């Protein structure tokens, strides 16, 4: 869709291809899936995409998405998966809390820029605090 939209403008085809490559390559696809080398623009866009996924808004998005897919919030007998392939990650139907361990808590260490790492550090701590409070409440505390 993005490529079609960009083509509707009078843009150089190299720019369209570059933007298309960034879009195709920025997404997280599993813990063990090799990430393609990105251009500077791609690294910046990837950081922005990852920052959207973590912190307070990232937590809200995770639960909204999990709810829309009918996923269980938490099941202590269902452990997070270390996804070896993109297919495993994309076809996963685990709990929303598991998603923190399968993706969200991993993003801080995968940032590309100094600014991205700085922002990610704060948002990561917020998610860790949230999980601590979640488990305390889950256990009746």
Q: pLDDT-based confidence at 89, cuts 50/70/90?
A: confident
Residue corresponding to tokens 């991993």: 106
pLDDT digits (tens, 9 = 90+) for 14-42: 999 999 888 888 776 666 657 778 899 99
Q: How far is it, in rounded angstroms, from Cα 45 to Cα 66?
A: 24
Reply yes or no on whether the pLDDT at 6 is more than 70: yes
Residue corresponding to tokens 């993005």: 2
**What integer is the mean pLDDT of 51-68?**
96
Name all domains of the chain by residue range, CATH numbers in brackets.
2-138 (1.20.58.1910)
Query: Given this model, what pLDDT does residue 101 score?
Result: 95
Q: Is-contact 66 73, C-beta < 8 A?
A: yes
Q: Is-contact 127 55, C-beta < 8 A?
A: yes
pLDDT digits (tens, 9 = 90+) for 60-88: 999 999 999 999 999 999 998 887 777 77
pLDDT digits (tens, 9 = 90+) for 90-119: 777 889 999 999 999 999 999 999 999 999
In this structure, the dihedral spanned by the alpha carbons of residues 8, 37, 102 and 1, taken in order and rounded to 10 degrees, is 10
- CA-nearest of 128, 127, 129, 110 to 49 is 110
Query: Given this model, what pLDDT does residue 76 score?
Result: 94
Query: Given this model, what pLDDT does residue 31 score?
Result: 60
Query: Given this model, what pLDDT does residue 10 score?
Result: 86
Query: Given this model, what pLDDT does residue 30 score?
Result: 60
State the DSSP H helix or E strand holding residue 37, giving kind and residue range, or none if neither: none
pTM over 0.85: no
């Amino acid at each position: 869709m993005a490529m079609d939209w960009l083509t509707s403008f009078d843009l150089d085809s190299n720019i369209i291809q570059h933007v298309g490559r960034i879009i195709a390559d920025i997404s997280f696809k599993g813990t063990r899936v090799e990430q393609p080398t990105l251009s500077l623009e791609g690294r910046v866009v990837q950081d922005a995409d990852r920052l959207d996924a973590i912190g307070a808004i990232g937590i809200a998005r995770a639960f909204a998405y999990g709810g829309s897919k009918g996923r269980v919030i938490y099941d202590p007998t269902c452990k997070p998966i270390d996804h070896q392939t993109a297919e495993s990650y994309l076809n996963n139907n685990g709990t929303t809390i598991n998603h923190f361990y399968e993706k969200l808590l991993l993003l801080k260490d995968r940032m590309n820029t100094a600014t991205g790492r700085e922002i990610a550090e704060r948002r990561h701590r917020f998610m860790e605090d949230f999980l601590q409070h979640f488990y305390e409440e889950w256990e009746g505390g």
